[in-house]
Structure formats: structure tokens, C-alpha cells
Amino acid sequence: MSLSLHAHPLASFCWKVLIGLYENDIAFENVLVDLGDPAGREAFLKLSPMGKMPALRDTGRDETVIETSVILDYLDAHYPGRVRFVPTNPDFAWRMRFWDRFFDHYVQTPMQKIVADRLRPAEAKDGFGVDEAYGQLKVACDHLEKELADGRTWMLGDFGLADCAAMPALFYADKVQALEGHWPLCLAYLERLKARPSVQRVLAEAEPFFKFFPTE
């Protein structure tokens, strides 16, 4: 098998690539990364020097690809399938990439700040930073709610890169700041995403690890 994805089932950014792989039925080996294991960490850092998951290894082309948006671009180029993640039309392409960046930077980043703080010991908590992150998350969800009011199903026409990014971002954002009662259109969009078979597969694989997610 040419492709292997080095990832962890609980990691939100890993979901983004897994959804893409499953959407197009791309054959790959799913390699579990345990950064707590010294040998596993050392092996992973050889693929991804910054230690960020996931990393895609393509032995057939002797390429290692990191950064989720870049990985999906790579799959578009070399392993195309039913879903094209970034449209060929240049104006649709930059808009698709904008929404991809929106979910990664403005939803995922504050969400991860909140989750990371929950894992810190009491003496290292950053209350100011957490409050700021909640504020950023609210601004992002408010903006997304307005955009979704036009009745769209996916972020830009057909399912694509932005939707792969949206699923893990909104799923975990909902865990730290419930969408229900505040952003009904965002919640409805999340439910549409969760109904896709590719996403259901990702969630099923992650389910045994949800017990490790800090709820408070």
C-alpha cells in the first residue's frame, strides 16, 4: 500500500484528512501515533519535524506531506476521486480556501486554546486567554451563522475542502461552547456533516478515545 496516514483518532486536524480519504475511498494505512511513547514520538518527528499531526507518507512517490490543506491538495493532484476538494475554477478555488482557513484559524484555534487550558494544572491556567478564545469563537460562529442564512448545504456548492475543515472544527467547538440555543444554522450544518458516511466512520473510530477529551 503506497499511502499511510500517521495520525491519532482524537485529533481534530487528523479528522480533516481522514474525511477526505474516506470520501474518495482512497486506500491507505492508518498509523496510530502515540506522542507519549518515546520511540513513537521519535519516529513521527522524522516525518513531521514540528510534531504536528497528521503526516501523509506516500512511498510510491517517495513523498511526505504535512499540513492538512496541503495534504488534501496533494490528494486532489495525485489520487483524485469523486470529490474534488478544491475546485478548478480559480474564483471558486480561492473562496474554498478562504473557508478552509476560516475554520482552521477562527474556529479550531480558539477551541484548541480552551481545551489546552483545561489540561493545564491549576497554577498554570490562563483565564484571560480562555476568555479571549471564547470571544473569538463567538465572533466566528456569529459570522458563520450569517453566511449560512442563504440556505446553502455545503460551504461552497459541492462538498469540498472547507467542509472537511468545518466538521472537526464545529464538532469540538460544540463541546466547549454549545451551538444549540445560540447558532441554530451552525448546528444544522454540523448535523449535515455528521450524517455523511465518511464522517460517521471517523466518529466511530474516535469514539473509544472520547473519554480522554477534557469536558471542563
- Cα R_g (the chain), whole angstroms: 17
Residues 122-167 have pLDDT tens digits of: 899 999 999 999 999 999 999 999 999 999 999 999 999 999 999 9
3-state percent breakdown (helix, strand, coil) of the chain, nearest 5: 60, 10, 30
Please give the single-letter amino acid code of residue 93. Answer: A
Q: Which of 18-27, 114-123, 174-183 has the lowest mean pLDDT?
A: 114-123
Contact 133, 141 (CB under 8 A): no
Q: What is the mean pLDDT of the chain?
A: 96
**Average confidence (pLDDT) over 73-95:** 97
1 falls in which pLDDT band (50, 70, 90)?
A: low
Q: What CA–CA distances, in Å, run from 195 to 72, 167, 170, 188, 199?
A: 21, 11, 14, 11, 7
Q: What is the set of domains in the chain, with CATH numbers?
A: 3-78 (3.40.30.10), 90-196 (1.20.1050.10)
